[in-house]
């Protein structure tokens, strides 16, 4: 028989590895589950990790491209090249 202390220890360890997210739009949930099934063999944790890493990477790239109006300079360069 498991003691209350042992049960609490197991429950705490299990809680550290779980994540419950509510209020997910049904279409987003379907797409995420489909993505996890196809790309990560239904490993939702790894799929979530990948999505999170992609978001962080995008944020870094976005800062670079919008810093000092980089896109405006790039557009001007494209116009110059197109005229040649």
Spatial contact of 47 and 40, defined as CB atoms under 8 Å apart? yes
Question: For residues 53 and 41, what is the distance between their CA atoms, to the nearest angstrom?
Answer: 18
Question: For residues 80 and 82, what is the distance between their CA atoms, to the nearest angstrom?
Answer: 5
- In the chain the first and final C-alpha atoms are separated, in Å, by 82
Question: For residues 47 and 42, what is the distance between their CA atoms, to the nearest angstrom?
Answer: 8
**pTM for this predicted structure:** 0.63
Q: What is the pLDDT of residues 29-69, one digit of tens each?
A: 999 999 999 999 999 999 999 999 999 998 888 777 777 66
Average pLDDT along the chain: 87
Question: For residues 75 and 52, what is the distance between their CA atoms, to the nearest angstrom?
Answer: 30
Domain boundaries, the chain: 22-83
SS3 17: coil
């Amino acid at each position: 028989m498991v003691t209350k202390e042992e049960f609490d220890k197991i429950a705490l360890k299990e809680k550290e590895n779980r994540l419950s997210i509510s209020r997910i739009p049904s279409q987003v949930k379907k797409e995420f589950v489909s993505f996890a099934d196809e790309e990560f063999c239904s490993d939702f944790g790894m799929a979530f990790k990948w999505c999170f890493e992609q978001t962080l990477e995008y944020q870094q790239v976005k800062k670079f491209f919008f810093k000092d109006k980089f896109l405006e300079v790039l557009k001007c360069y494209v116009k110059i090249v197109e005229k040649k």
